[in-house]
Amino acid sequence: MTDTLSQSTSQAAPDVVAEEATVKIRVRDLDFYYDDFNALTGITCDIKAQAVTAFIGPSGCGKSTFLRCFNRMNDLIPGTRVVGTVLLDGQDIYGPDVDPVDLRRRVGMIFQQPNPFPMSIYDNVAYGPRLHGVKKKSDLDDIVKTSLKRANLWKEVKDILDRGGLTLSGGQQQRLCIARVLAVQPDVLLMDEPCSAIDPTSVQKIEDLMAELKSTVTIIIVTHNMQQAARVSDDTAFFLQEVMGEPAHLVEFGRTAEIFTSPKDKRTEDYITGRFG
Amino acid sequence: MARRDSKDLANRVALTGFWIAALTTVFILGAVIVYVFVNGIGEISLEFIFTKPHGVNAEGGIWPMIVATLYVTGLAMLIVTPIAVLAAVYLAEYAVQGQLVRTIRFAADTLASVPSIVMGLFGLAFFVEALKLEFSVLSGALALSFLMLPIVMRTTEEAIRAVPKYIRWGSYGLGATKWQTVSRIVLPSAAPRIITGIILATGRAVGETAVVIFTMGTMIYTPVLPTDPGRSMTVHLYQMAMEGINLPAAFGTALLLMVMILAFNLFARWLLRRNRRMQG
Ligand SMILES: Nc1ncnc2c1ncn2[C@@H]1O[C@H](COP(=O)(O)OP(=O)(O)OP(=O)(O)O)[C@@H](O)[C@H]1O
Ligand SMILES: [Mg+2]
């Protein structure tokens, strides 16, 4: 795991190295296709390291699609195609030498619907490490404990680790999924509407969690909740598909504080103030 | 007003029709069960289950037939399960969904609807004669496995497809390969339904007559090796009844057979329900 990391650093192009401390992911002229349908066009942006970036925009404007470009989850959907470049730590993740399976360890993902596996809480968290060759019980125990702690779930489940993950409440399940991802030590965490299917107290817990995690993990979150975007994120990207059937694009990208107080684009302002979407 | 009345009437007629149909179904089922039970229960005893038949009228027990039946279906299950599951995994997860896969699926469905006596004839020609396996438990099991294969394959395929996409994505998202995802997440999640399919197919095989009469033979013999011949309970029942040898023994056998199949089906249902509870 550390191998891939140091490797990618050493392979980075010189001009990228200079800014590496601040930019985690660099997207240039990205177009995305579902078969013939051009879903996204001309996306260019820099995602900052150790920060939370929020993706906002009306339903169907390609936020999830774009998010899945970062861990090549779209590869699993037949007929999809990416044009343009996505550099993670300076390395082109669509390059010929990149194995999407390895990439997905570094770029974890949380889905809208909590999706624990039908197995115990312990096994859920240990799943990733086991895949990647951790066998010793004591090592696994450590990883499970640390990951559950980082996901703020340890206190609630430490005595019921062998109980089925599906017996937890929705909010706990979502934190279990976060722990499961943290167990493989990703440096980017993609969250696709992680709070839209869970209760408000759990939402609070997950927002707190994001604030704690961002010192070590770069977080990108898709959300339909403007207050949430304003609360948790450092940067915000606003996407819009202006005409049905036409590709969506990135309308505005900048500091969250600025986007929410003085957006440069009229369409951003309309969306944020709830005039459409 | 008149229209309303006629509508009400139509409603009532339809409802009565449904009731009669439903009652008839229950009645027929009940009648069969009661008839077999009343005629068979007198025969059932420990001796009937655990001893061999003797004499010209095959008095005594049906132990060799019980052994042969369980042996041949158990062996068929062992043969069918790995093949059907691997084929289903391939069809559901790996094969490029297109003409070939559709053809395989169509072939499986057709195979499932081939009359079992035709399958028996095939078994006789192919396993018994061409492969020189003789009348044996092995020939019977192979022929039965042809009968079970499409059922198990299709239920397994459906069970695999029923595993939600977002659970698979959870696995891929952690850096799992396709095979890791299939073997560690998809198959375990689908296992209860796969097992149910296997049990239902086995239940069908237990009740099968035509296939085994052609492939395992009719000799009353307690098989030990797979190459031994034997007589299944269904075949025994057929001969006792059709040749008028021993009608009470036929009913006793029939009752035992029904109990066995019922037990299989209840077990399958219990498995499914338990699983549904666990996945909450
Ligand atoms: N698997 C797919 N095949 C074809 N088209 C798709 C697929 N998934 C999404 N799309 C299309 O791509 C566009 C973007 O979808 P996407 O799900 O990324 O939007 P979104 O911004 O995440 O929407 P929401 O806020 O509702 O989640 C939509 O027009 C959608 O219909
Ligand atoms: Mg979405």
Residue predicted with more confidence, A2 or B45: B45
Measured from the Cβ of residue B234, the count of other Cβ atoms closer than 10 Å reads 21
Specify the CATH number for A20-115+187-272; select among 3.10.129.10, 3.40.50.300, 3.30.1460.30, 3.40.50.720: 3.40.50.300
ipTM given for this complex: 0.87
What does pLDDT average to over chain B? 91
For residues A197 and B105, what is the distance between their CA atoms, to the nearest angstrom? 38
C-alpha span between A172 and B190 (Å, rounded): 24
Which has the closest alpha carbon to A237: A273, A272, A276?
A: A272
* Ligand 2 centroid to residue A55 C-alpha, Å: 10
Query: Given an 8 Å threshold on Cβ–Cβ distance, is A127 in contact with B278?
Result: no
Sequence ranges of the domains in chain A: 20-115+187-272
Q: A66 to each of A86, A112, B212, how far by Cα in Å?
A: 11, 15, 59
| DSSP 8-state class, residue B183 | I
Neighbours of B278 (CB within 10 A): 12
pLDDT in tens, A109-166: 999 999 999 999 999 999 999 999 999 999 999 999 999 999 999 999 999 999 999 9
Least confident range of A71-80, B52-61, B112-121, B204-213? B52-61
Question: Above 50 in pLDDT, residue B280?
Answer: no
Give the 3-state secondary structure of A150-207: HCCCHHHHCCCCCCEHHHCCHHHHHHHHHHHHHCCCCCEEEEECCCCCCCHHHHHHHH
Is the Cβ pair B174, A128 closer than 8 Å? yes
> Mean pLDDT across the stretch A72-83?
94
Please, are residues A8 and A25 in contact by the beta-carbon 8 Å criterion?
Answer: no
If 0-12 CB within 10 Å is exposed, 13-18 middle and 19+ buried, where does residue A256 land?
buried
CATH (residue range B48-278): 1.10.3720.10
Contact by Cβ (8 Å): A70, A190: yes
CB < 8 Å to B174, chain A: 104-105, 108, 127-128, 131, 180-181, 184
- Return left, alpha or beta for B132; rule: phi > 0 is left, psi -120 to 50 is alpha, else beta: left
Partner residue opposite B173 with nearest CB, options A104, A119, A166: A104
Q: For residue A20, is pLDDT > 70?
A: no
Pocket test for ligand 1, best of A61, A68, A82 (most atoms within 8 A of CB): A61
DSSP-based helix, strand, coil % in chain B, nearest 5: 75, 0, 20
pLDDT confidence of residue B1? 52
Contact status, residue A67 vs residue A220, Cβ threshold 8 Å: yes
Q: State the average pLDDT for chain A.
A: 90
Protein residues with C-beta less than 5 angstroms from the ion ligand 2: A 64
Residue type, A82: V
**Whether the CB of A64 sits within 6 Å of ligand 1:** yes
E strand or H helix at B12, and its extent? helix B2-40
- Cα separation, A153 vs A4, in Å, equals 29
Percent of chain B with pLDDT over 90: 69
pLDDT score of A274 more than 70: yes
Q: What is the mean pLDDT of residues B211-238?
A: 94
* Ligand 1: centre distance to CA A168 (Å): 30
